[in-house]
Structure 1
Amino acid sequence: MNLGNVVTAMVTPFNKAGSVDFEKLGPLMDVLISRGTEAVIVGGTTGESATLSMKEKAELYRESVNASGGRIPVIAGTGMNDTYATAELSIQAVKDGVDGVMLVAPYYNKPSQQGLYEHFKTIAEKVDLPVMLYNVPGRTMVNMLPETTIALSEVPNIFSVKEASGNLDQITTIIANTPQDFKVYSGDDSLTLPAVAVGADGIVSVSSHIVGSQMQEMIKLFRNGKVQEAAAIHQKLVPFMNAMFIAPSPSPVKTALHLTGVDTGGVRLPLVPLTEGELNIVKKALDEVSNVEQFPSS
């Protein structure tokens, strides 16, 4: 499966009552595609998966597929800390028409490396779809070591990993020791260019809701040998990327979307809206990236 350079971990739109607003999915998908997104992950961390019911997730998968209309792949975030419940939800996602599933490392349980391997292998064998692994130790309290990811890359339908360990050595080891067709994506926006420089295929991003086109330009410039120009974009984007995590995600990016004319509603408890100080940081960051797309790609 080809997901391109920039994959967006898409927010889940809510209405004023806090229910999922499925009518906003189409306009949001249109905006993301216009801003450089080549694939989306729905119902993941940025989509506030922890607060979505199973029924909401299934409908979100189905309506996101409809909103995409086959223009870009839709990957369902189906991972949970219960192996068999994850398998059940992943099977449901297949029925809902998604192009693949993303499975986060089990949180709270703190499984061993063998437990991680068996968890992902068990689910992958039950699902007739491409599987992306998701390693994010900052949220799960367990780091999937490169050796485990490398072993899992031999499972036929496990095609990719979103590596959000923030560890370039770990990313490099995975890239160097997995099959050529195994896709490695950074899960840390500010490491997009460094990760691509060591061989990553791209980024699964939050910031791409707003600056996806600039991120695309940066990656293309680097791959065309225009390293200094790519570095200049990276330097301009990093403060914005950091601002998208000034408060628990997705509060900052939903605010940024609103400020750029895209209504995706608020966040669900236990997340809360930005404070006035945080809002000012997001506004300033938006102003500073308004002129990033000035570098020719050819």
Structure 2
Amino acid sequence: MIDGVVVAALTPFDEQGALDARRIPPYVDYLLDASVGGLMVGGTTGEFVTMTSDERIEAVGAFARAVAGRVPVIAHVGHAAPAEACRLAARAAEAGADALTAITPYFHPVQPAAVEAYFRDVAAAVPTLPFHVYNYPEASGTRIAPATFRGLLDVPNLAGVKLSVATFAEVEPYLDLLGKLTVMSGNDALIVPFAEAGGTAVVSGNASVRPALLVDLFAAAQGGHTAAVERLVAELDQLRELTAAAPDRLKAALRGSGVDIGEARIRTV
């Protein structure tokens, strides 16, 4: 199972907006130097909604080659079209992904039966790779109920769930699955209570800028080191205020750390 801080990786684009894969190797080295637990490629922080399917697979391959097996590479393959999500899953496996995740079909709310069918189909597209459900209701428009997720527990390659939810109360129904599946909190504001509840893996967008900060915070929270937690949370709060989890702001902050990952296609400022 995946553990530690998984970086929601940024996707590099050049000044003309083209995918710029040559920037990936030094970026990967910067992240891995902080002892992160894995990389999630092509997720929300990675601006997947702005990318073609070919670009998404090119990015997965470039990250996988740069990582070279040092940590797991989780490819996000979610799509508004379920059939395309299945195709992306197969192509991501061929490109070198170690595991897969998929957000629900987005924009239009999806009924529970269709959500279950979607995840079963995407997982079955590559039955040899671990598959993680990606629950991000504020972005996708669909909230996955805990009962819907539990209906998927018989999927042979179901490995876990990423919970990008607003409150810890939405995480609590999954805590009994810790140790059985990989339960990942995807909200930086919930890192401390999640660690204190026994959580062993988080996915962080701000770790794409300051990976060591998130690694240190998660470890301190798991170890009950109150003074260190308070200090590191204050640093994280400053970073969260600066970036607002927006790709262009994250990339600007990363440049301030000495790593240039290029421009963003999504502009918020």
* Equivalent in the alignment of 1:103: 102
Q: 1:261 & 1:119 partners in 2: Cα distance?
A: 41
The 3-state SS of whatever aligns with 2:63 is helix
Write the distance in 2 (CA, Å) between the matches of 1:199 and 1:89.
Answer: 33
Q: Which residue of 1 aligns with 2:63?
A: 64
How far apart are 1:229 and its partner, in Å?
A: 2.7
Q: What TM-score do you get using the length of structure 1 for normalisation?
A: 0.85
* Aligned position for 2:48: 49
**Of residues 272, 276, 297 in structure 1, which corresponds to 2:267?**
272
> C-alpha deviations, 1:88-135, integer Å up to 9, x for none?
110111111110111011112311122111110121122121111111
Match of 1:22 in 2: 21
Are residue 190 (structure 1) and residue 185 (structure 2) matched?
no
CA–CA separation in structure 2 for the residues paired with 1:164 and 1:219: 17
What's 1:163 paired with? 163
Whole-Å separation in 1 of the counterparts to 2:84 and 2:211: 33
Query: SS state of the match for residue 184, structure 1?
Result: strand
Task: Give secondary structure in 2 for the equivalent of 1:13.
Answer: coil
Structure 1 residue 273: Cα displacement: 6.0
Uncovered stretches (5+) of structure 1, i.e. residues with no partner: 275-298
Secondary structure of the residue that 2:165 maps to in structure 1?
Answer: coil
- Measure how far apart 1:226 and its partner are: 2.1
Q: Is there any run of 5+ residues in structure 2 with no aligned partner, and where?
A: none
For 1:253, give the aligned amino acid. L
Post-superposition Cα deviations, 1:217-247, rounded to whole Å, max 9, x if no partner, equal 22222323323432332233223123221xx
Could you say which residue in structure 2 is the equivalent of 1:255?
Answer: 252
- Identity in percent: 27
Relative CO higher for 1 or 2, CA cutoff 8 Å, sep ≥ 6? 2
In structure 1, C-alpha distance between the alignment counterparts of 2:66 and 2:75, rounded to whole Å: 14
> Retained in 2: the 8 A contact 1:267–1:273?
no
- Please give the residue correspondences for 1:1-298 in structure 2 after superposition, counting only pairs within 5 Å: 1-2=1-2, 4-127=3-126, 128-176=128-176, 178=177, 180-245=179-244, 249-268=246-265, 271-272=266-267, 274=269
Structure 2 counterpart of 1:29, one-letter code: V
Query: Across the two proteins, how many residue pairs are aligned to each other?
Result: 268
Letter in 2 for 1:144: I
Query: Counterpart of 1:190 in 2: which secondary structure?
Result: helix
- Report the counterpart of residue 289 of structure 1 in structure 2: none
Cα shift at 1:163: 0.4
Runs (4+) of structure 1 moved beyond 3 Å?
A: none
Secondary structure of the residue aligned to 1:185 is: strand
> What do the CA deviations read for 1:161-214 (whole angstroms, capped 9, x no partner)?
1101112112111122x3632111111112111222223222111111233212
Alignment partners' CA distance in 2, 1:130 and 1:227: 35
Structure number with bigger Rg: 1
CA RMSD of aligned residues (A): 1.7
Identify the residue that residue 287 of structure 1 maps to in structure 2.
none
